Structure 1
């Protein structure tokens, strides 16, 4: 158990502060659950390799987005308001957690995953392990494909310290002129345009042999420094801060220009972490620390690999016995006919989709694709937060604009790490005359909505999609998200008003059914929590079940604590970090909090309030784009929609119920902020033993078979 800073004890009555848990420690606890997927021998072997890479990628983002911020922020006022620990103690707690997980990752890779890969014919070798024939092939590959791409950079009076890009692996060489005792430094970047593991062909097609690119460069380094003596080498990797503070509140400044400048400056931001091989050359280690102005707390000596994301091609090897069973999303019944008119389907009744169980292509993509081609459609409007490469949505919008339809697309240029891609698609849409806007000044637009306006016999009719996930075809295969298709005139009018707010100058839009941040969402959520308290006190059924990604909004945390103290049962399903600890005596005894981690990334946001109903299906359900975080409720444009059709409520309750029964992929948060993995027994129902994802896949296939019967 890690040493975690405790909230100071007081003589005052217990409040929500007594159950507060630090956001950053909670996020690291989430990444610990991701790492556990790689450690768990129930996970197929190549999927374990994938989770090693995901853990690394997650940790990279944590350091880029949080560490510099934490080191520069004055936390005094924050400490007084929520009992946060002092800065130095806090950073030491984070370092302890990270170092512990690095050790677990390296131990699992070296002593479990590598041997098991070898047992299955996949050999990730070091130079010393190669046969003479393999060394010859490796050297030939180096000469032809690697050597020309390398750029040795020396440090001496004629050569300044070389620029080093974020997250790049480098080899730092200690060189000497023959017969000299003076150390010279040279850096060679390991090219990220090449595979990080080089395949060495073998006649036996049942075996795969690979050599690390870094190792290949190291053992051919004499060709890079002819006439010099190579004394030693050390591999390392730097992480730069990704937080660039630029003023985007000036109406005279193009937001595109601001974002482009932010991308440029990000390349030169300060280094916040140095990852270096174990037992590094001390001279190189000290040189790097001085150059990047780092302390010992910023340096991590890794026991094995520096960057496991290079293992993704290995994880993607087509060896079915070592992978999760393939999953092919199912087309909803109403859309099975290739000629089915999606607008007629929606007009017949609201449609709920759950990805990746339901086909994204046959539903969300189809909605925009058909709208672009339909001569009755007069306008298409969409918000884009993360859209991906070669996106079919932008192609459809381009087709619609070229055919004379009005196209309005709000592209969020400040979607972290997707800025460059979003800038590209914004320019492509502008070229063909689409209306491209970049959102509301001072707010990120995070809502996932699309609107189609269609000319029909009785006049214009609007069709809307309100979802929890991005319009991104790749993530739709691995993220779980829900979405509502509707032509309800009240909801669609709200969506129209929301787009008017986003594209125009509407300052006080009215929303009858939508919960929209930052306008009315927090207030509505607080009212619904208070209503559950009132109902419980009046002897009426009261229950809150909420599924989302992260929780740290102080007002909602306080409201949830008050509900728990009043006796309301609260079930929270929070995939990522949560700043409220359950089971704290006198504070959150009636609250439970769990996290589901597995082959799909839990991304859907579903909110349920009993509202005095005797049965779950008579309660209130909501879905949408917002988590219970201050940034979502105050600094982003978000939309959440009520789901009212009974059949759709039944499906949402089914999702929540399966998550609450899960004893295979579920982790329960403990009163100290740690998480405990649940374990199924033979007495548990099958759905609990299967886990959420397997249970929902099985249920989806069962329904598909029933309709074919």
Structure 2
């Protein structure tokens, strides 16, 4: 047994980090951006909001799934890192409790006073003067009272249904006739702003909506004395459970599951810290949860609503507005505005880097021109997530109306976008678009578009393959890459892929593309093992991989093997990373960084030095079991030498980041980088911005 095997076999050593705890470490880095004084003030509020909304999703999906598994299979289920599921649930609570406390205590002691100092005052109701209390009393009567419904809880009134992520007040009243104390619930309506603005002030002055209600409860409970009220908020299981093999109509099955989703089990209760024990106990019993599911909050519950504060019109306290620039190939086109996007692509493959380069003038233009070009015969595209009023979808509808063959794979099961995607699918179908809903038991996550154009006596296939969704809104703040090409081999591969997605093809061989779940896992393992062989044969080898998350044990084992023979490996993993780096004898040569900044790092890039014949790939997949085995994904090689160097330079710039980058240590902790003595600060995102707009340097 070698040293690495001995380490891995040691029951006291876990060579994989726990996935859920790694995610919590990621969200801690998000919170740190909100705490960091270098972050503009309102951007700090935004990061606090993102931290809270991230937690909501974590409980709705990850914790909910673990609780289901515990209920179905018992506490003996082991996670990939070898711990029991019950142990993991306790570890989640242990890791999250201090983070939640940190967020709320920092909000009260630092962020809230700092906001106030700069004219954004979030007052407690009791701290405002009588004049403004009178205003809020009128606001309550006119805006709130008509929509509020007090719900009694007693033998004649069962505990009411409470919707997911809803903020509520538990109210204790005393009957003036019987002197009996009673228990009621009042929902804080989410159709009104969480922070009620007080007019006639020179500043942005707000009072939390739940406090406006709590201090004006008397009209809701006539002839009752209001003894106390306390805020609480619940999170429900939001996982969909679709038996696709038994579903005759996927849309109907999905719509039914969306209806059921509203009644998912409660997986978390956030509650005011000062709630008396007897009320706390009653809520726990009525919601069928345990003490482990309860999180005490020392300040305002639901800080995700700070997002509204983050977008106040105060540019001096926000990031400098960013407007993406035209791609260099398209700037040249400004001298010849009649040149089509297809002529530009024919001149050679080119990469686009969003949000630094415009999505509108590249990806969106590609689909919009194809929709009206008389020589375009067909458009085929995958849609995983898109915006509410999507110009991409409108262009596809226009193409169908213009008589073109349009086939679109709409992934109905894109989490939290299910209802939106059902709506778009129906609109596309009504316009004559051939809509496919994906493959049974597989999500279609690939980002691909194929345009077939008649040019003389031949058909030419133009394509875009990317790392991000066809969503112009997220393209403004997600960092993504895409390639445009009309190469025959890639076009033939995409044609085969769409036949696989829309028909009964069982395509197994692709000329260039790595396609999951067909050949991607095997091909990535081959690429890693090729580096191992090169290293053994005396060629210094290097792997760089950038993605959102790295979880897959088989890939991780291959990386450990590569490290042990001397292959240098740099991993740029924004979120979950189960690799344990820099462990002697196991992963000495593996380094991991995470970059958290104003743009969400979403691109996937895979670089292999290949003994000097460098190869680089981009695409939609992370190294996770779900991406490699349970989704349709596409990774494409980028072969033009200039583009290989362009991608390599992007990776090198990110690896040199000493402002937004965090280093992962063998114990699972992260340390944020800072410039060494005499070294200038270098933010990779700011650097990419300055390449297009020097004023950001």
TM-score (norm 1): 0.94
Please say which of residues 330-339 and 638-647 is displaced more in the overlay. 330-339
Q: Distance in 2 between matches of 1:273 and 1:331?
A: 46
1:211-250, aligned counterparts within 5 Å?
211-250=207-246
Contact 2:442/2:630 (<8 A) preserved: yes
Cα distance in 2 for partners of 1:151, 1:197 equals 20
Distance 1:683 1:78, change over 3 A: farther
Q: Deviations over 1:569-614 (max 9, x none)?
A: 000000000111101121011100110001111000000000001x
Counterparts of 1:471-490 in structure 2, within 5 Å, are: 471-490=470-489
Task: Select the residue among 209, 213, 224 that pairs with 2:205.
Answer: 209
2:693 to 695, 701, 706: 701
Q: 1:38 aligns with which of 29, 34, 41?
A: 34
**Which residue is 2:111 aligned to?**
113
648-657 or 555-564: bigger deviation:
648-657
Aligned residues of 2:19 and 2:578 also touching (Cα < 8 A) = yes
Q: Is the 8 A contact 1:274 1:298 kept in 2?
A: yes
- Give the whole-Å Cα distance in 1 for the aligned partners of 2:244 and 2:396: 28
Aligned-residue offset at 1:509: 4.2
Counterparts of 1:11 and 1:194, CA distance in 2: 58
Give the equivalent residue in structure 1 for 2:16.
20
CA contact (8 A) 2:686 2:696 kept: no
Alignment map for 1:167-316 (pairs within 5 Å): 167-204=165-202, 207-250=203-246, 253-316=248-311
Distance of 1:362 and 1:223 partners within structure 2: 56
Residues in 1 aligned to 2:6 and 2:592: alpha-carbon distance in whole angstroms: 26
Give per-residue Cα distances to partners, 1:153-186, cap 9 Å, x unaligned.
Answer: 1123332221110000001111221143433221
Which residue is 2:59 aligned to? 63
1:269-668 correspondence to structure 2 within 5 Å: 269-336=264-331, 337=334, 338-613=337-612, 618-668=613-663
Are positions 1:47 and 2:39 aligned together? no
Query: Using the alignment, how far apart are the partners of 2:237 and 2:633 within structure 1?
Result: 27
User: What is aligned with 1:87?
Assistant: 85
Distance across 2 between alignment mates of 1:63 and 1:703: 41
Q: Distance in 1 between matches of 2:269 and 2:453?
A: 56
For residues 10 and 566 of structure 1, the distance between their equivalents in structure 2, rounded to whole angstroms, comes to 11
**CA deviation profile, 1:514-546 (whole Å, cap 9, x unmatched):** 000000000000000000000011111310000
1:340, 1:322 → 2: CA distance?
A: 42
Secondary structure of 1:396's match? Answer: helix
Further displaced range: 103-112 or 142-151: 142-151
Greater Cα shift, 10-19 or 426-435: 10-19
Query: Which structure 1 residue ranges, 5 or more long, are not aligned?
Result: 1-8
Counterpart for residue 671 of structure 2? 676
Secondary structure, aligned partner of 1:667: strand
Give the direction of change, closer, same or farther, for the CA distance of 1:596–1:275 in structure 2 (3 Å limit): same
Measure, in 1, the Cα distance between the counterparts of 2:148 and 2:350. 54
**Which residue of 137, 142, 154 maps to 1:139?**
137
Contact 2:445 2:633 in 1 (8 A): yes
Pair 1:682–1:325, CA change in 2 (3 A): farther
**Rounded Cα–Cα distance in structure 2 between residues aligned with 1:428 and 1:694:** 40
Q: 1:133, CA displacement in angstroms?
A: 2.0
- Between the aligned partners of 1:335 and 1:256, the Cα distance in structure 2 is 40
CA offsets 1:322-366 (integer angstroms, 9 cap, x no match): 001111000112223254411100010011000000001011111
CA offsets per residue over residues 602-642 of structure 1, 9 Å max, x none? 000000000001xxxx5111000000000000000000000
Instruction: Give the direction of change, closer, same or farther, for the CA distance of 1:695–1:543 in structure 2 (3 Å limit).
Output: same
> Structure 1 residue 18: deviation in Å?
4.5
Whether the 8 Å CA contact 2:40–2:317 is kept in 1: the answer is yes
Cα offset, 1:68, TM superposition: 2.6
Tell me, yes or no, if the aligned pair for 2:49 and 2:305 is still in contact at 8 Å.
Answer: yes
C-alpha separation in 1, matches of 2:695 and 2:33: 29
1:512 to 1:505, Cα distance in 2 relative to 1, 3 A = same
Q: 1 CA distance for matches of 2:400 and 2:641?
A: 37
Give the C-alpha shift of residue 71 in structure 1.
2.7
Aligned to 1:161: 159
**Partner SS for 1:380:** strand
Range moving further from structure 2, 210-219 or 137-146: 137-146
Provide the C-alpha distance between the structure 1 equivalents of 2:440 and 2:76, rounded to a whole number of angstroms: 28
Distance 2:480 2:138 in 1: 48
Would the alpha carbon gap of residues 703 and 123 (structure 1) be closer, same or farther in structure 2, given more than 3 Å must change?
closer
Question: Who is 1:3 aligned against?
Answer: none
Provide closer, same or farther for how the CA distance between residues 704 and 112 of structure 1 changes in structure 2, counting only shifts above 3 A.
closer
| Cα 1:112–1:495 shift into 2, 3 Å | same
CA–CA distance in structure 1, aligned partners of residues 267 and 124 of structure 2: 30
Whole-angstrom distance in 2 between the partners of 1:423 and 1:609: 40
1:446 Cα shift?
0.3
Give how far 1:134 is off: 1.4
Q: CA deviation at 1:690?
A: 2.7
Q: Indicate how the Cα distance of structure 1 residues 203 and 513 shifts in structure 2: closer, same or farther if over 3 A, else same.
A: same
Q: Deviations over 1:38-75 (max 9, x none)?
A: 11001000000000100001011111111132234348
CA separation of 1:607/1:15 partners in 2, compared to 1, >3 Å: closer, same or farther?
farther
Is the Cα contact below 8 Å between 1:202 and 1:208 reproduced in 2?
no
Aligned equivalent of 1:6 = none
List per-residue Cα deviations over 1:54-100 (Å, max 9, x = no partner): 00010111111111322343488863x84422233222211011101
Change (3 A) 1:683 1:277: same
1:444/1:200 CA distance change after superposition, 3 Å: same
Structure 1 residues 400-425: Cα deviation after superposition (integer angstroms, max 9, x where no partner): 11111111110000111000000000
Give SS of 1:249's match: helix
Query: Distance between the aligned counterparts of 1:628 and 1:277, measured in 2?
Result: 40
Is residue 31–residue 55 contact of structure 1 (8 Å, CA) maintained in 2? yes
Q: How far 1:135 moved relative to its partner?
A: 1.5
Give the superposition deviation at 1:554.
1.2
Q: Unaligned 5+ residue runs, structure 2?
A: none
TM-score (norm 2): 0.96
1:10 Cα deviation from its structure 2 partner: 11
**Over aligned residues, Cα RMSD in angstroms?**
1.9
Taking the aligned partners of 2:565 and 2:620, their CA distance within structure 1 comes to 29
Verify the 8 A CA contact 2:535 2:566 in the aligned structure 1. Answer: yes
Give the Å deviation of 1:142: 1.7
Q: Distance in 1 between matches of 2:660 and 2:596?
A: 6
Secondary structure, aligned partner of 1:441: coil
**Displacement of 1:284:** 2.5
Find the residue that maps to 2:592 and give its secondary structure: strand
Q: Cα gap change, 1:15/1:697 in structure 2, threshold over 3 Å: closer, same or farther?
A: farther
